[in-house]
Amino acid sequence: MMYDKTGETMERADLEQLQIERLQTTLNRVYRSVAFYRGQFDAAKDDIGGIKTIADVRRLPFTVKEDLRRAYPYDMFAVPLRDIVRIHATSGTTGKPIAVGYTKNDVHHWSELVARQLVSIGMNEHDVVQVAFAYGLFTGGLGFHYGAERIGASVIPSSSAGNPADQLVIMKDYKATAIIAMPGYAMTIAHLMKEMRIHPESTNLKYGVFGAEPWSERVRGLLEERLHITAYDTYGVAEVMGSGVSGECIRREGLHINEDHFIAEIIDPRTCEPLAEGEVGELVLTTITKEGFPLIRYRTGDLTSITRRPCACGRTLARMGRVSGRTDDLLFVQGARIFPSQIQQVLLEVEGVEPEYQVVLETRDEMDTVELLVTVSAESGDFDEIRRLERTRSAVAGLLLSRHGLKVKVTFVEAQTLRNMDGRKATRVVDRRVK
């Protein structure tokens, strides 16, 4: 099934011609209307009229998050404020927030691109979609809300329920066939179902669409087993559009990038040089249909790879791999370099622990210390036995030391201590070190 067969199955040559035409329109718009880009292009002596091929895009300067923060709130908008019908914003947890403006056309494109993914996994007007992403300035909730409405599905904006127990009531009573959420929050709901002895077959769930934080194939398997669903990955960037940048189809062999709206590159995050197809690097996105808040070569900070081989589903759009981490959450501790996602991967390999975790960094006697808070699996048996706890503790600590050179203290905590209780991103790293 395809929502927009023309846009999703274009021949590569036709697609690249469309990209260039739309890019040229975008470049002229930002040069005329956004002082930041006019200054960037003039300083680099870039002749935007000379951008004739996709390879020429590499001549353009990058845009980074700090550029957007300095432009807060409206200096990156490319249209007058009277033409902006929606404003979203990033959380600002790592600095000043970024305000993103949408025109009426931008909102239309956004909902159309989300609709593409929902149709690609088999959803239609007969589905009842429980959107457990947060609504508000965060883009996740409203993006999927409008996308699901676009295909004629019934939408339950359940994020306001907050409490996972309320989500379960809604899921059962309203006969939801799909849940859309962060994977960590979905895992919390799955835990609660087990605790309340609710068998997944007593629900009508068939689909799960999960994103907004890194997750693994192992987590996919756990969610599918515990919720009796087929789980799909989705990808969005709040600064670029939100949800709808890419998503898995029914084949689940990569996330289709909506290339008729975005130009995607993979670069080495250290050298900024382009990487070959299939190599893992930083994803860079250029918007080519955004009117309100267009971005040129935006460095997302997300690590992934791209293949342009056509998918067996019939779509010719490039596919990106699952996001494996970020360039800006690399931890430097005890002389080691490690991503939080690598810590999660170790936990997934050790029997008896759950993938939820929290890393607590502190300074003691001028040395970095690492405490890893984890919870044991309910299925792992009786963990009152100290010997079994110690074996599990040693396995986790041993793998982190041998594989990453990281010495950690493993502490077992109650499951609810680490769960997302409001549907928002869990705090994975608490850094209390003396700077």
CATH code, 406: 3.30.300.30
d(C-alpha 362, C-alpha 62), whole Å: 35
Beta-strand relationship, 128-131 and 178-181: parallel
Choosing from 327, 357, 374, the residue where a domain stops is: 327
> Do 142 and 197 share a domain, yes or no?
yes
How far is residue 211 from each of residues 111, 140, 225, 387, measured CA to CA in Å?
17, 9, 18, 37
Query: How confident is the model at residue 378, as a pLDDT?
Result: 63
> Do 337 and 244 share a domain, yes or no?
no
* Strand ranges (E), 330-428: 331-333, 336-338, 353-364, 367-376, 409-412
> Do 157 and 36 share a domain, yes or no?
yes
d(C-alpha 154, C-alpha 126), whole Å: 8
> Do 18 and 151 share a domain, yes or no?
yes
Structure confidence by residue, pLDDT tens digits, 330-382: 787 876 768 888 898 899 899 888 888 999 999 886 678 999 999 887 655 55
- When divided into structural domains, the chain yields a total of 2
Query: How confident is the model at residue 92, as a pLDDT?
Result: 57
Can you name the residues that pair with 320 across neighbouring β-strands?
255, 306
d(C-alpha 211, C-alpha 234), whole Å: 5
> Do 360 and 323 share a domain, yes or no?
no
Choosing from 327, 345, 362, the residue where a domain stops is: 327
> Do 396 and 273 share a domain, yes or no?
no
d(C-alpha 191, C-alpha 162), whole Å: 16
**What are the two backbone dihedrals, phi and then psi, of residue 314, each rounded to the nearest 5 degrees?**
105, -10
Number of H helices, E strands in the chain: 12, 21
Q: Which residue has the tokens 């959803």?
A: 123
- The answer to whether 307 touches 43, Cβ cutoff 8 Å, is no
> Do 247 and 390 share a domain, yes or no?
no
> Do 300 and 383 share a domain, yes or no?
no
Choosing from 327, 344, 372, the residue where a domain stops is: 327
Structure confidence by residue, pLDDT tens digits, 139-195: 989 999 999 999 999 999 998 666 889 999 999 999 999 999 988 889 889 988 988
Q: Which residues does the chain have with pLDDT short of 50?
A: 93-94
- The answer to whether 372 touches 344, Cβ cutoff 8 Å, is no
Amino acid at 130: Q
Residues comprising the chain, all counted: 435
CATH code, 152: 3.40.50.12780
Q: Residue 424: give the domain boundaries.
A: 331-431
> Do 343 and 260 share a domain, yes or no?
no
> Do 265 and 413 share a domain, yes or no?
no
> Do 177 and 312 share a domain, yes or no?
yes
Query: How confident is the model at residue 161, as a pLDDT?
Result: 64
> Do 133 and 273 share a domain, yes or no?
yes
